[in-house]
Amino acid sequence: MGSGILPLTLGIETSCDETSVALVEGGRKVLANVIHSQVDLHKEFGGVVPELASRDHLERLPHLLDLAFEVAGAGPDDIGLIAVTRGPGLAGCLLVGVGVAEGLAASWSRPITGVNHLWGHIYAAMLARPDLEPPLLGLVVSGAHSDLVRMPGHGRFEVIGRTRDDAAGEAFDKAARMLGLGYPGGPALDRLARTGDARRQPLPKPSLPGLEFSFSGLKTALLYRLRDLGPEAGEQEKADLAAAFERSVVESLVEKLDEALSRAPVSEVVVAGGVAANTLLRLRAAEVVAGRARLTMPPLELCTDNAAMIAAAGFFTSPPRGEVGSRLRLPGGEVHSSITVEPSLGWD
């Protein structure tokens, strides 16, 4: 061990439009979490272009690896486990991360584990709160998911609520596009909503029975309201609409969180995923959970996609060392584990 630290987990995340490499000690302590966002690359297309995304991941990874080791003051000898996102995500993007991770595992003779990206979002909370342990209730809100899950123990998840149509992040992104805010929409809509007043342009709050979400009706309501306002819609009206849209999405999310907590009380609640960066959601989730459970919402850089959360999830959920993945003998005699990429992986 070169620098006298515990064996580290090397995390690699390339599922969508962030390339990230992290070094995490003991599943809890982030020594490095370097993230390259491809926002500038995809901006002119108004969304993520998969082919450009995977090529960029491949070009950036070597430098990000060097940078992560430099930031952590560590080297390959310090690595005890390699954790890489195997799904869900864009197939070509996932393949780049898994291919690079497998190459490193083979050349360094280290165990490797494929990580479920959704689990990663929950494990981001473990990095933010060192004493946090399951059982917990989680709300994962990202660009592709709005899921309520129960986590009875490490690596065990039960989905108790999901969206019938759009995910919360997808809804924010589409609303932002309608309001002329471009890509990425969520953070821009958040900023605009801070200058608006939801009461001036009220929009309906989606209401489905049980723990299901639906955001497509709300999206249509925004579309019609913008059409009625016509080209006259001024900056203030747009800001009011952004605030109203945000309020409807957030109230729907916290209403179901509230219901899930009432149905089966639990002492730890986690709200995570890219949308957990939203200002109003952070405020309202804290209000709804207050006095009933402890709420953990990771800091912003751990809410959006990053490799530290993948390293943490890999550390806590990988099989015992030596049994990780399926083993292959390469010509040089190195041990290599093969990971299956699953673009539409669910919570299992």
Residues 290-309 vs ligand KG4: string with x where CB under 6 A? Answer: --------------xx----
Coil, helix or strand at residue 56: helix
144 binds ligand KG4 (CB under 6 A): yes
Residues 33-72, mask of contacts with ligand KG4 (x by CB under 6 A)? ----------------------------------------
Q: Nearest Cα to 298, choosing from 185, 48, 130, 82?
A: 130
Three-class DSSP category at 149: strand
The nearer residue to Zn ion, 25 or 305, going by C-beta atoms, is 305
175 and 242 Cβ atoms separated by less than 8 Å: yes
The residues, any chain, with a CB within 8 Å of residue 333's CB and separated by 6 or more, are none
User: Should residue 56 be labelled a site residue for Zn ion when binding is judged by CB under 5 A?
Assistant: no
Our finding on whether 242 is near ligand KG4 (CB under 6 A) is no
Smallest distance, ligand KG4 to C-beta of residue 89, A: 8
Stretch of 63-71, 78-86, 179-187, 220-228 contacting ligand KG4, by CB under 6 A? 179-187
Amino acid at site 258: D
Quick one: which of 22, 81, 198, 275 contacts ligand KG4 (CB under 6 A)?
275
Among 56, 173, 240, 251, binds ligand KG4 (CB under 6 A): 173
Which strands, in side-by-side order, build the sheet including 136-141? 156-161, 146-153, 136-141, 268-272, 294-296
Name which of 37 and 292 has its Cβ closer to ligand KG4: 37
186 binds ligand KG4 (CB under 6 A): yes
What does the H/E/C string look like for 239-284? HHHHHHHHHHHHHHHHHHHHHHHHHCCCCEEEEECHHHHCHHHHHH
Q: Which is nearer to ligand KG4, 27 or 187 (CB)?
A: 187
Distance of CA 158 to the CA centre of its chain: 18
Site string for ligand KG4, 7-36 (x = CB under 6 A): ---------x--------------------
Residue 142 binds Zn ion, judged by CB under 5 A: yes
Cis peptide bond N-terminal to 265, omega within 30: no
Stretch that binds ligand KG4, among 22-30, 91-99, 186-194, 327-335 (CB under 6 A): 186-194
Peptide bond into 50 cis (omega under 30): no
| 18 in contact with Zn ion (CB under 5 A) | no
The C-alpha atoms of residue 120 and residue 133 are separated, in whole angstroms, by 14
Q: Which is nearer to Zn ion, 198 or 275 (CB)?
A: 275
- Residue from 94, 124, 250, 277 touching ligand KG4 (CB under 6 A): that is 277
Residue 270: which region, alpha, beta or left (left: phi > 0; alpha: psi -120 to 50)? beta
190 touches ligand KG4 (CB under 6 A): yes
Residue number with CB closer to Zn ion (116 or 142) = 142
Ordered DSSP codes for 270-336:
EEESGGGG-HHHHHHHHHHHTTTSEEE---HHHHSS-HHHHHHHHHHHSPSTT-SSEEEE-TT--EE
Which chain residues interact with Zn ion by CB under 5 A? 142, 305
Residues binding ligand KG4 (CB under 6 A):
16, 142-144, 169, 172-173, 184-187, 190, 273-275, 277-278, 304-305
